[in-house]
Structure 1
């Protein structure tokens, strides 16, 4: 099992606004990742966000091959890719009108095109393409929950056909801010309604799925209450993972301190924490093992660290990445 680092923490939550830090460029993120080392072990590769300023999703084949050359020169493979499906990027809402859905599908086509270029180059040999419903918040979804879930499922089904035609698989991200994907039960219902497990599966993130347990944004599906015991936690964790693990084809290692926050149009989302955060709610290694049972049967060949919205000072500190790499090695060694 290969160990990857995500490049998007250099972008997510960054920008030119008054309260935002500037993005960290792709090459700097690659160099920070390449510098990490624990007992001779280094990161094997990266997972990659297909949007500016790291990548123009409409870049020429030649420019994309240059990016592939640069990634390969750092000693890395590319694993899973993140399609730019959101409003304001290339895409739009998966439960929108025809124009919006067409934009969503166009973003998936662009991601598949880039995946093909990276595959032909040789820098990419495994991984999925990540999507979500691209519908921030739950108010509109709740106006017709069943009907809107069906709209998302129909869009995902068309997207999965596109991916399959390109020899790719899509992984739907489970995060509580995405309409129709905001609880473990709603996520499961959506996956089952799409009904294409060979082409569309689940992308599990330890931080986000912790919030699934607690029922944030979907109290009716909570499996735990505040003040839970360790025994209650793992009993509930097993219920959730038993339902979603068969669909899980992409996996993010992360930590969460239980905080839920809103940002812009996001209707509450989870907070990633550093791997050794003293307030972290998760035994990362033990929790990861629930998701990684029989991982080979689901085609998982790598795991990826995800830690969005860390301060640039934290991201630029070499000790951050050594601690993360050490945790990732423990997850891998406990699961193989």
Structure 2
């Protein structure tokens, strides 16, 4: 559901799209008799009040189930301006971050008890940018890891798992190597892991915000690409607990208050750099052994016009079906 919120701002030409309408767009999509099974949820306004009452949350769950949809992964409101704050900030900031995780876990518990949610993780990141991290890489990675450890203990108490989404715009996870260092420092495999997104991890290969971690140079051959892709996925796949199908054209993009990150372009974009099904198979090898029971698509910062086009949804569903066949 976060394509309706991420990078959207009221009063602009890309205002938020309501949860109700996003559910309508999801439920209306069909490809050769196949439909979407469910939705991942963004736990912040205007979709979901992180302090929503039990009764209102159960009513929302009934609504989602009424569309024939389930609920999968949940995005904790860990950023400044929502509930949370920087995972590598002050003690007060870290406390806000942990509060956001606690609120997400409470919502997860109610959705699980309702029965609408049977799989998924709680998605987090460091809630701060690499420009702040680079001043003290080792020290800041240690702070993030310590916050993630505390968050992992909260999640485990609810029977939940956390997945940090690797994006070039997040401190300590802005390159494949920094992400791996952060996960290893957190040292909670199976509890705190990685959420792989095809669009974001493509830019990991090129070292966009971390040239020292680049595995490819522009003008690479197909053979060089898959060799580099194997290095990256061999490192991060054991930590991968959640997965986003997406496409990337090799550029970055940001709208609203969201910093530039790997561009999500249409699944059938002629400029797309990825063979979606083949690339996904590298991440999803032995997925069941890591407890991955569903995959999601991410269209963050798609224009509202693009999201209102039924073909957008059909093409991504086609891509997801191709991923399912490939694994």
Compute the TM-score of the two structures, normalised by the length of structure 2: 0.98
Contact 1:138 1:267 in 2 (8 A): no
SS of the aligned residue for 1:286 comes to helix
What stretches of structure 1 move > 3 A for 4+ residues in a row? 261-268
The aligned counterpart of 1:302 is 294
Residue 287 of structure 1: how far off its partner (Å): 0.4
Residue 62 of structure 1: how far off its partner (Å): 0.7
Contact 1:217 1:268 in 2 (8 A): no
2:65 counterpart of 1:42: no
The aligned counterpart of 2:86 is 93
Contact 1:171 1:249 in 2 (8 A): yes
**Matched length:** 327
Alpha carbons of 1:263 and 1:38: their partners in 2 closer, same or farther (altered >3 Å)? Answer: closer
Deviations along 1:151-200, whole A, 9 cap, x unmatched?
00000000000000000000011000001110000000000000001211
2:247 counterpart of 1:255: yes
Contact 2:196 2:244 in 1 (8 A): yes
The aligned counterpart of 1:3 is none
The aligned counterpart of 2:275 is 283
The aligned counterpart of 2:150 is 158
SS of the aligned residue for 2:251 comes to strand
Q: Which runs of 5+ in 1 are unaligned?
A: 1-6
Q: Please list, as runs of the form range in 1=range in 2, the aligned pairs for 1:47-62 lying within 5 A after superposition.
A: 47-62=40-55
Contact 2:8 2:255 in 1 (8 A): no
Provide the rounded CA distance (Å) in 2 between the counterparts of 1:243 and 1:10.
32
Provide the rounded CA distance (Å) in 2 between the counterparts of 1:267 and 1:11.
14
Deviations along 1:122-175, whole A, 9 cap, x unmatched?
00011000000001x222211111000000000000000000000000001100
The aligned counterpart of 1:12 is 6
Compute the TM-score of the two structures, normalised by the length of structure 1: 0.95
Q: 1:233 aligns with which of 195, 202, 225?
A: 225
Q: Which runs of 5+ in 2 are unaligned?
A: none
Q: 2:193 aligns with which of 190, 193, 201?
A: 201
Provide the rounded CA distance (Å) in 1 between the counterparts of 2:259 and 2:57.
34
SS of the aligned residue for 1:257 comes to coil
Q: 1:68 aligns with which of 51, 56, 61?
A: 61
C-alpha RMSD of matched pairs (Å): 1.1
**Structure with more strand by fraction:** 1
Provide the rounded CA distance (Å) in 2 between the counterparts of 1:121 and 1:264.
35
The aligned counterpart of 1:4 is none
2:159 counterpart of 1:167: yes
Alpha carbons of 1:266 and 1:34: their partners in 2 closer, same or farther (altered >3 Å)? Answer: closer
Contact 2:155 2:162 in 1 (8 A): yes
Provide the rounded CA distance (Å) in 1 between the counterparts of 2:214 and 2:74.
30
